[in-house]
Amino acid sequence: MSRPTVAIINRQALRDNLALADSLAPASKSMPMVKANAYGHGALEVCKALQNAPAFGVACIEEAVELRSAGIEQPILLLEGTFSADEVQVAAENNLWLMVENEAQKQAVLTSSSTQAVKVWLGIDTGMHRLGFQPNDISQHYQALRASSKVAKTIVLATHFACADDLENPATTEQTNSFHRCLSLNNISAGENTEISLANSAAILGWPETHRNWQRPGYMIYGNSPFSVAHENADQLTPVMTFQSAVISLRQVNVGEPVGYTANWKAPRPSTIATVTVGYGDGYPRQAPNGTPVLINGVRCPLVGRVSMDMITVDVTDLNQVAIGDKATLWGPDLPVNEVAEHCDTIGYELLTRMPSRVPRNYVN
């Protein structure tokens, strides 16, 4: 018997969520984002579950090489490009695609000693101001890469949206217009050897005018909405991860008795307190306040007391029955990670990606 804290990963939900992305943009190719250990879900197993995907996206070459070494054969895009010139040859030898977003990365490709051409994604900064060449300068970079034998025939032009998760914000339309003005002014058009990638998860779901040759679904394929409001497309997603544990102890506390470190909660009535074996050492957020919902046997109960490294305490006074060994769900299909994150003044992305290796991932379906 082992500690009951586990993340259950539903492979079929992964496939269904990717199918939704494909259905919303049927003329596009979907590149699942599996960076940061597939948002905490386990990059290798996610890639295996999505074996029909045409390519995958990661942050860096270490993530890509780990997948290659484990037998993943699809092209893998390095979203941040190279960090040193020697990575270009590794990329070319391993069919890794490179984002090129600054002059140093461009020169590393053009001066590489590799005899194999590498596929390039050319990043354009349309307003996020994080990565990418300036739109006014793109022609010289595009032409230099196009003319080089070090670069594969087809180049993908890409940008990233800053505010696509806000459906009322005009920034996404402005960035899209900036991207296409850039292409028009530089006499660049999509065609046989030039492809375009604009859409992240929020844009796939909520901004159909951004769908182009490649889309980059991330958060959505793990079954979570990037929006803070209900949305007809996002509401079709199925959460892939169920983070669960179990009750390991029960006790009665009197009115005014404290629970947990710092005694930041005192019982307002005679209370039954369940101790659950999960804590910030398992990725459950320490900043979770009193009242954060936890499902005990499928019923919402409030967290009480400070989250500790290995345990939390939950007020189960209103449950008709509770026993040691009963299931506790921290988030999943019946308790969205976004809701827990809102209580903790953070985002679901963070809660998922920072889950440590101590928590076993059990894969089903």
DSSP symbols for 330-345: EEBTTB-HHHHHHHTT
Is residue 150 part of the annotated active site? The answer reads no
User: Looking at the structure, do residues 188 and 45 belong to the same domain, yes or no?
Assistant: yes
> Is the model's pTM score more than 0.85?
yes
Q: Which residues pair with 120 in a beta bridge?
A: 98
**Mean pLDDT, rounded, of the chain:** 97
**Structure-derived torsion over alpha carbons of residues 110, 188, 212, 171, reported in degrees to the nearest 10:** 100
Is residue 253 scored above 80 in pLDDT? yes
Contact 344, 285 (CB under 8 A): yes
What pLDDT shows up at residue 191? 86
Is residue 285 domain-resident? yes
Question: Is the same domain home to 45 and 184?
Answer: yes
pLDDT 10s digits, 235-248: 999 999 999 999 99
CATH number at residue 205: 3.20.20.10
Over residues 45-57, the mean pLDDT reads 98
Helix, strand or coil for residue 315?
A: strand
Give yes or no: 29 in active site.
no
List, for residues 68-126, the tens digit of each pLDDT value. 999 999 999 999 999 999 999 999 999 999 999 999 999 999 999 999 999 999 999 99
- The reply to whether 5 falls in a domain is no
One-letter amino acid at 48 equals K
Same domain, 75 and 116: yes
> Does residue 177 lie within any of the structural domains?
yes
Looking at residues 172-185, what average pLDDT do you find?
A: 95
Report which of 329, 331, 328, 323 is spatially closest to residue 272, judged by C-alpha positions.
323
CATH of the domain at 294: 2.40.37.10
pLDDT in tens, 1-34: 599 999 999 999 999 999 999 999 999 999 999 9
| SS3 labels along 238-276 | CCCEEEEEEEEEEEEECCCCECCHHHCCECCCCEEEEEE
Tell whether 214 and 264 lie within a shared domain.
Answer: no
Structural domain contains residue 260: yes
Mean pLDDT on 37-43:
98
98 contacts 121 by C-beta, under 8 angstroms: yes
For residues 56 and 111, membership in a common domain is answered with yes
Give residue 148's pLDDT: 96
Residue 268, domain member (yes or no):
yes
The whole-number pLDDT of residue 1 equals 55
Catalytic: which of 35, 106, 119, 150?
35
Asked if residue 233 is part of any domain, the answer here is no
Residue 192 pLDDT: 84
Domain check: are 282 and 252 in the same one?
A: yes
Using the 3D structure, point to which of 186, 201, 225 is the last residue of a domain: 225
Residue of 150, 153, 222, 261 marked catalytic = 261
Q: Do 151 and 15 reside in the same domain of the chain?
A: yes
Structural domain for 277, as ranges: 241-364
Identify the band that residue 135 occupies on the pLDDT scale cut at 50, 70 and 90.
very high
- Strand-pair category, 271-276 with 241-253: antiparallel
231: helix, coil or strand? coil
Domain count, the chain: 2
Contacts of residue 71, Cβ cutoff 8 Å, sequence gap at least 6: none
What does the pLDDT look like over 254-277, one tens digit per residue?
999 999 999 999 999 999 999 999
- For residues 158 and 135, give the distance between their C-alpha atoms in angstroms, rounded to a whole number: 11
Residue 231 lies inside a defined structural domain of this protein: no
- Token digits of residue 363: 């894969």
- Whether residues 20 and 99 share a domain: the answer is yes
Q: Cα–Cα distance between 22 and 198 in angstroms, integer? A: 15
Residues in contact with 342: Cβ distance below 8 Å, sequence separation at least 6, in sequence order: none
pLDDT digits (tens, 9 = 90+) for 287-337: 999 999 999 999 999 999 999 999 999 999 999 999 999 999 999 999 999
Q: Are residues 296 and 164 in the same domain?
A: no
Q: What is the pLDDT of residue 190?
A: 87
154, 119 Cβ separation under 8 angstroms: yes
**Do 212 and 279 sit in the same domain of this protein?**
no
319, 346: one domain: yes
Residue 4, in any domain of the structure: no
Q: Tell me, yes or no, whether 162 and 25 share the same domain.
A: yes
User: pLDDT band at residue 189, thresholds of 50, 70 and 90?
Assistant: confident
Sign of CA dihedral 228, 234, 237, 240: negative
